[in-house]
Amino acid sequence: AQSVTQLGSHVSVSEGALVLLRCNYSSSVPPYLFWYVQYPNQGLQLLLKYTTGATLVKGINGFEAEFKKSETSFHLTKPSAHMSDAAEYFCAVSDPWGNKLVFGAGTILRVKS
Amino acid sequence: SQTIHQWPATLVQPVGSPLSLECTVEGTSNPNLYWYRQAAGRGLQLLFYSVGIGQISSEVPQNLSASRPQDRQFILSSKKLLLSDSGFYLCAWRKADYGYTFGSGTRLTVV
């Protein structure tokens, strides 16, 4: 079975500050890892994904995440927050066959001006 | 290109009434299809998934059912809604490279 834990249901940063959203996973097989963003009353948009290969993954809107197997983590970062980054972010894990995607509880990011 | 359609966008239904939410995918064949529910502050819960016509896997016991009458159509139903069925329902399909694409969602309020 797979699971995801997102540390911090709410994160608040100032505009221009570093964004760090934490995600730890549990998986009995090599994981495929994803970050999604959701704006109010909308569906989910894929930010980035890790399947195999390079452990530092770059995504859209300046976000990136690093897969650390030893720490079972896949934290999402962005060097400089923008007001438009305010949204809810979900970390997710699937097995290599991609049959099921398991989500964390989500982290709401607030960006202060 | 592939697109996913989900409707209606919002729905208010009384307790005990039936439910039918529809999801269709265009531009692909034999996709894996999924229904998720998002309750306030609880993340996304996988409800059902389907790997082919007539093949439905249920992840959690509940008041809902799913059907896949056609290759690119996935329907979420209930015979009698409960208050606890309120939430944001998302349909998704999986691409071959393990990316999932989500529909725009249906906000269901049971009153």
Q: Is the pLDDT of residue B41 over 70?
A: no
Taking an 8 Å cut-off on Cβ atoms, the answer to whether B100 and A41 are in contact is: no
Instruction: Identify the band that residue B100 occupies on the pLDDT scale cut at 50, 70 and 90.
Output: confident
pLDDT tens digit string along A68-113? 999 999 999 999 999 999 999 999 998 887 778 899 999 999 999 9
Instruction: Identify the band that residue A19 occupies on the pLDDT scale cut at 50, 70 and 90.
Output: very high
| Three-state DSSP state, B29 | coil
Smallest Cα–Cα separation from B95: which of B9, B34, B6? B34
Question: Which B positions 45-104 lie with beta carbon below 8 A of chain A?
Answer: 45-46, 49, 51, 59, 88, 90, 92, 94, 97-104
| Three-state DSSP state, A28 | coil
Q: Are A85 and A73 in contact (CB under 8 A)?
A: no
CA A59/CA A46 separation, integer angstroms? 9
Rounded mean pLDDT, B81-85: 94
Chain A residues inside the 8 Å CB shell of B99: 34, 46, 49
